[in-house]
């Protein structure tokens, strides 16, 4: 789930209703019905009799009878593998004894998942259960508990970096940069900027008069550097996209937030060498190395290659040191009888 929704769900007691919360989809009231512990991962096998929605009642009855007959044969002692190979209509798994890839909560059809996770002992077989694909007998092959954090750390970090949780670190960074760089905003000027948002901005046709005096007003400062309304409008003009029926002022406020964040990050990047001594020294080391390489290339390596007269003179002076020798040899056997 998106992070604000998930966060509210886990913070709300079972049986209670959350405070109103907002996600990118809208506003929500969330009621929590129940809680359970994480179920880990399981591996199962199944025997399936196909039955799809819309099938005739007669076919439905036939499918139920067939799956029940297979369940009865299992109870009578016939082997799972033989029955799976003979009757299962899942051609992708029947040759492997019906085995399916391991799965965790949320990765399988709910009715199949519920029946599978109720099995406790390896080898247990469920009662017939129904999914949109048909009827199933499910056998527990392996049950894995939740892995240790050390084993899951890299996967968890990758997931966090790809969802809205990653925004939390960015929000903290922006907040810190505002404090450290003495970010100062002028609300009246900002309200003026928002007042210029009209239907053009949501149609990606926004433009403005650069010479208009109000557009020269300072919108915010980062330390001593001033950023004007015109600077922001230039950003809006470059970044605007067709947003359909979105409220123009709301869209303008989104663009302003993006503009502030990008400006703070750019300001920080431009001043890293003055803020962090280690970074300044590292940049100096790279710069000096590149200059040295460029100097050696132009004055030594490239120059030597292009100096054909010098190369010829060196060759004539030293060619006697690198003469090749032709020779023949005879090998005598060590066996005295030969």
The pLDDT value recorded for residue 170 is 86
How does 287-308 read in b/e, with b if 16+ C-beta sit within 10 Å? Answer: eeeeeeeeeeeeeeeeeeeeee
| Stretch (H or E) spanning 254 | helix 248-270
**Helix (H) and strand (E) counts in the chain:** 14, 9
Instruction: Choose between 235 and 2: higher pLDDT.
Output: 235
The pLDDT value recorded for residue 335 is 60
Say if residue 53's pLDDT is above 90.
Answer: no
Least confident among 39-48, 116-125, 160-169, 257-266: 160-169
How does 90-123 read in b/e, with b if 16+ C-beta sit within 10 Å? Answer: beebbeebbbbeebeeeebeeebbebbbebeeee
The pLDDT value recorded for residue 37 is 87
Determine contact, residues 100/44, Cβ cutoff 8 Å. yes
pLDDT-based confidence at 48, cuts 50/70/90? very high
pLDDT single digits (tens) 208-223: 998 999 999 999 999 9
For 189, counting Cβ atoms within 10 Å of its Cβ (0-12 exposed, 13-18 middle, 19+ buried), the class is: middle
Determine contact, residues 130/111, Cβ cutoff 8 Å. yes
Distance CA 113, CA 102 (A): 11
Share of the chain above pLDDT 70, in %: 97
Mean pLDDT of 123-130: 94
Reported as half-sphere exposure (CB side, CA atoms, 13 A), residue 162 has a value of 7
Alpha-carbon torsion (29, 33, 38, 40), positive or negative: negative
Tokens standing for 9? 């769900």
pLDDT-based confidence at 337, cuts 50/70/90? low
Distance CA 316, CA 303 (A): 19
Residue corresponding to tokens 């869209």: 251
pLDDT-based confidence at 293, cuts 50/70/90? confident
In order of 93, 267, 270, 278, the CA distances from 275 in angstroms are: 61, 11, 10, 9
pLDDT single digits (tens) 226-284: 999 999 999 999 999 999 889 999 999 999 999 999 999 999 998 888 888 888 888 88
Mean pLDDT of 135-153: 92
Instruction: Choose between 87 and 330: higher pLDDT.
Output: 87
The pLDDT value recorded for residue 332 is 67
Kindly give the residue spans of alpha helices, DSSP state H, lying in 108-247.
110-117, 149-162, 166-180, 187-195, 199-202, 229-239
The pLDDT value recorded for residue 338 is 44
Across-strand partners of 47?
137
Say if residue 146's pLDDT is above 50.
Answer: yes
Say if residue 298's pLDDT is above 70.
Answer: yes
The pLDDT value recorded for residue 283 is 84
Torsion of CA 194, 196, 198, 204, to 10 degrees: -90
Mean pLDDT of the chain: 90
The pLDDT value recorded for residue 47 is 96
Tokens standing for 176? 């810190």
Residue corresponding to tokens 């998942």: 113
Alpha-carbon torsion (247, 253, 257, 260), positive or negative: positive
Distance CA 197, CA 205 (A): 11
pLDDT single digits (tens) 107-116: 899 999 999 9
Helix/strand/coil percent split, the chain, to 5: 50, 15, 35
What 3-state class would DSSP assign to 136?
A: strand
Share of the chain above pLDDT 90, in %: 62
């Amino acid at each position: 789930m998106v992070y604000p929704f998930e966060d509210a769900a886990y913070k709300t007691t079972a049986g209670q209703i959350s405070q109103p919360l907002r996600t990118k989809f809208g506003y929500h009231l969330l009621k929590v019905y129940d809680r359970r512990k994480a179920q880990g991962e399981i591996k199962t096998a199944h025997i399936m009799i196909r039955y799809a929605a819309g099938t005739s009642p007669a076919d439905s009855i036939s499918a139920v009878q067939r799956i029940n007959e297979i369940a009865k044969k299992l109870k009578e002692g016939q082997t799972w593998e033989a029955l799976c190979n003979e009757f299962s209509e899942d051609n992708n798994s029947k040759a492997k004894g019906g085995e399916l890839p391991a799965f965790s909560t949320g990765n399988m059809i709910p009715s199949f998942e519920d029946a599978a996770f109720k099995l406790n002992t390896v080898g247990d077989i469920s009662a017939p259960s129904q999914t949109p694909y048909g009827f199933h007998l499910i056998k527990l092959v392996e049950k894995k508990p939740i892995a240790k954090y050390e084993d899951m750390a890299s996967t968890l970090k990758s997931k966090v970096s790809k969802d809205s949780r990653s925004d939390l670190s960015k929000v903290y960074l922006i907040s810190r940069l505002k404090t450290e760089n003495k970010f100062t905003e002028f609300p009246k000027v900002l309200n003026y900027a928002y007042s210029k948002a009209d239907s053009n901005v949501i149609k990606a046709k926004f433009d403005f008069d650069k010479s208009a005096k109000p557009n020269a007003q300072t919108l915010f400062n980062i330390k001593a550097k001033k950023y004007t309304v015109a600077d922001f409008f230039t950003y809006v003009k470059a970044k605007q996209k067709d947003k359909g029926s979105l409220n123009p002022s709301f869209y303008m406020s989104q663009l302003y937030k993006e503009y502030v964040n990008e400006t703070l990050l750019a300001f920080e990047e431009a001043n890293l060498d003055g803020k962090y001594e280690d970074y300044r020294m590292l940049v100096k080391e790279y710069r000096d190395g590149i200059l040295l390489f460029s100097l050696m290339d132009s004055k030594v390596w490239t120059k030597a290659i292009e100096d054909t007269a010098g190369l010829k003179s060196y060759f004539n002076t030293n060619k006697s040191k690198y003469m090749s020798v032709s020779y023949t040899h005879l090998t005598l056997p060590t066996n005295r009888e030969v």
